[in-house]
Chains A and B, each alone.
Chain A
Amino acid sequence: MMFGLLKGLGVTLRQIPKKNVTLQYPDVKPDWPDRFRGVHKFYPEKCIVCNQCARVCPTSCISLSGTRGEDKKMHIETYDINFEICILCDLCTEVCPTEAIQMTDTFELAEYSRDALFKNIEWLAENGRQHDARKGKSDDQANHDAKAADKAGEQ
């Protein structure tokens, strides 16, 4: 009659000597895989103002503007992402032809005001610098080269 209950109790007893599986966040940060889609980083010098990221965005959270410089090339002037509505779907980084916009492993987006979720070009570039410093530039370069090789292979 009580056999099932005792069996369940056995499971509990077997668990006692085992190690904890939880992580002491925020003291210990999770170790995200390379592909993790966190907040974006942006390289202004790479951007060619093709507007593809803004067009493909399902929630239209990207707005950008640029001017044509003296060297007849387009230069980015403003680049804003509204993280109130961004769903981190990664479509913008997928269409970017120069890898100017990429995802990082930053994921802590809590702010005290909604306006603070509106991130501009400086913030995104700074996030990129921090991420590169964290990951090591060589690592990022290798990743970039691998992606470029992939794109060359597709064509």
Chain B
Amino acid sequence: MAELRTEEMLLNVGPQHPSTHGVLRVVIKLDGEIIREATPVIGYLHRGTEKLSEDLQYQQIIPYFDRLDYISAMLNNHAIVNAVEKAMDIEIPERAEYLRVIVGELNRTAAHLLFVGAYLLDLGAMSPFLYVFMTRERIIELLNEISGARLTYNYMRVGGVKYDAPPGWFAKIREFIPYFKEMYQLFDDLITGNEIFISRVKGIGSYGQEEAINYGLSGIPLRSTGFKWDLRKNKSYSVYDRFDFEIPVGTNGDNYDRYYLHLLEMEQSMRIVEQAIDSIPEGPVMGKAPKILRIPAGEYYAAVEGAKGELGVYIVSDGKDKPYRMKIRRPSFVNLQIIPSLLKDQNIADFIAILGSIDIVLGEVDA
């Protein structure tokens, strides 16, 4: 009997695939059910934000930043205004700093909630997604009330924030926090202990600390390996040094750790919000900033802890009111780099579980 002829199969996952969270294509070479090679193909959502910025004044760039990581636009807002303020040495009022922290942490919670929902949906669990959206909707409504939009907030300005909180807004957050804690318990009940879920994620897609650092990972993909690195603590900006919160870290760097860190971080974010609304000072929300923003000639870099990792803005200025060159360090883009080595020699059934756990947003990958 003649030997069976075998050959490698080339498979395109995406760009229109429900589990790639946007328009990402991954070309995988399959040997039976084992992935031998995986190459992400990016650029389907490329809008040229960096190049467009060169022709925009600094306040005009803020709405473009909303559209990078569109599920945590408040943190993107914070990244750009923080970078411009650091470069120009602008002091901003205390109340504005506190409002930035509150909306930022609420938005981080919303982004992590979406991760939990979408990840479970990737793994075939429908109901967690619905519970997650119920909770997330409350946060989106709160942010809609303060900024006037549900996703693309355009809320922060160089020198402060656009609006003060509307009447009764803080009371609504106080109402939301116990509701969130109740839902948090529910997610824990529904997902964390589920045997089917655990067998899909525990010990799968793990990498070591050294590999994570070599790939330049940040955020939860880095912290899941046990490396304690969070810009809110390590290079504190805004008023984060005034709050008491912890940076949860994982141990194995596998899918399960990355999933569970999202839950733990939401809890810490809520702790920050709780402290911030209790201690927010009175005062103006907009400081003294010149009408036309001109950054002195030179190079500047400032980063904030985005929902996905270190979100940095590098500005090269020649003293005009527009940047000469702007480079955005997008955490999703950097975190995606580990995908080829992570997927190598994995089972094809684990492909989605691994890709989903890295938590990428294509608006940010392609910029």
**Are A and B part of the same complex?**
yes
Contact residue among A4, A21, A33, A91 (Cβ-Cβ distance under 8 Å from B144):
A33
Chain A minimum-CB-distance residue to B145: A33
Tell me the chain A residues, 26-64 only, with Cβ under 8 Å from chain B. Answer: 32-37, 56-58
Residues of B within 8 A of A35 (CB): 145-148, 163, 166
Once bound together, how far apart are the Cα atoms of A25 and B3, in whole Å?
A: 62
A7-15, A74-82, A109-117, A126-134 - interface stretch: A7-15
How many residues does chain B have at the interface if contact means C-beta atoms less than 8 Å apart? Answer: 36
| Structural contact, A36 and B152, CB atoms closer than 8 A | no
Residues of A within 8 A of B146 (CB): 35
Known: A21-B137, A90-B154. A37 touches B149 (CB 8 A): yes
Once bound together, how far apart are the Cα atoms of A4 and B154, in whole Å?
A: 42
Known: A35-B166, A90-B148. A7 touches B60 (CB 8 A): no
Residues of A within 8 A of B22 (CB): none
Once bound together, how far apart are the Cα atoms of A12 and B186, in whole Å?
A: 10
Residues of A within 8 A of B137 (CB): 21
| Structural contact, B195 and A4, CB atoms closer than 8 A | yes
State how many angstroms separate the Cβ of A99 from the closest Cβ of chain B: 16
| Structural contact, A91 and B195, CB atoms closer than 8 A | no
Residues of A within 8 A of B190 (CB): 7-8, 11
Known: A33-B166, A58-B56. A11 touches B148 (CB 8 A): no
Residues of A within 8 A of B40 (CB): none
> Does A89 touch B at the CB level, under 8 Å?
yes
State how many angstroms separate the Cβ of A22 from the closest Cβ of chain B: 10
Residues of B within 8 A of A3 (CB): 193
Known: A2-B195, A8-B189, A87-B63. A103 touches B148 (CB 8 A): yes
Tell me the chain B residues, 175-202 only, with Cβ under 8 Å from chain A. Answer: 186, 189-191, 193-198
> Does A148 touch B at the CB level, under 8 Å?
no
State how many angstroms separate the Cβ of B98 from the closest Cβ of chain A: 19
> Does A5 touch B at the CB level, under 8 Å?
yes
> Does A142 touch B at the CB level, under 8 Å?
no
> Does A88 touch B at the CB level, under 8 Å?
yes
Once bound together, how far apart are the Cα atoms of A6 and B134, in whole Å?
A: 22
Known: A21-B137, A33-B145, A36-B144. A91 touches B189 (CB 8 A): no
Chain B minimum-CB-distance residue to A12: B127
Chain B minimum-CB-distance residue to A2: B195
Residues of B within 8 A of A56 (CB): 57, 59-60
Contact residue among B60, B127, B166, B195 (Cβ-Cβ distance under 8 Å from A58):
B60
| Structural contact, A88 and B56, CB atoms closer than 8 A | no
Once bound together, how far apart are the Cα atoms of A58 and B67, in whole Å?
A: 13
Tell me the chain A residues, 80-127 only, with Cβ under 8 Å from chain B. Answer: 87-91, 94, 103
Known: A36-B148, A58-B60, A87-B152. A4 touches B193 (CB 8 A): yes
> Does B256 touch A at the CB level, under 8 Å?
no
> Does A16 touch B at the CB level, under 8 Å?
no
State how many angstroms separate the Cβ of B44 from the closest Cβ of chain A: 20
| Structural contact, B148 and A7, CB atoms closer than 8 A | no
Once bound together, how far apart are the Cα atoms of A8 and B62, in whole Å?
A: 42
Residues of B within 8 A of A32 (CB): 144
State how many angstroms separate the Cβ of A26 from the closest Cβ of chain B: 17
Once bound together, how far apart are the Cα atoms of A11 and B120, in whole Å?
A: 16
Residues of B within 8 A of A149 (CB): none
| Structural contact, B63 and A5, CB atoms closer than 8 A | no
| Structural contact, B189 and A7, CB atoms closer than 8 A | yes
Once bound together, how far apart are the Cα atoms of A37 and B198, in whole Å?
A: 43
| Structural contact, A89 and B154, CB atoms closer than 8 A | yes
Chain B minimum-CB-distance residue to A37: B148
> Does A1 touch B at the CB level, under 8 Å?
yes
Once bound together, how far apart are the Cα atoms of A153 and B19, in whole Å?
A: 51
Most buried by B among A7, A10, A57, A58: A58
Interface residues of B, Cβ cutoff 8 Å to A = 56-57, 59-64, 66-67, 127, 131, 134, 137, 144-149, 152, 154, 162-163, 166, 186, 189-191, 193-198, 286
Q: What are 23 A-B pairs with beta-carbon distances under 8 A?
A: A3-B193, A4-B193, A4-B195, A5-B196, A7-B189, A7-B194, A8-B194, A11-B131, A11-B189, A21-B134, A33-B144, A33-B145, A33-B148, A35-B145, A35-B146, A35-B148, A36-B148, A57-B60, A58-B56, A58-B63, A89-B154, A91-B60, A94-B162
Interface residues of A, Cβ cutoff 8 Å to B = 1-5, 7-8, 10-12, 21, 32-37, 56-58, 87-91, 94, 103, 154
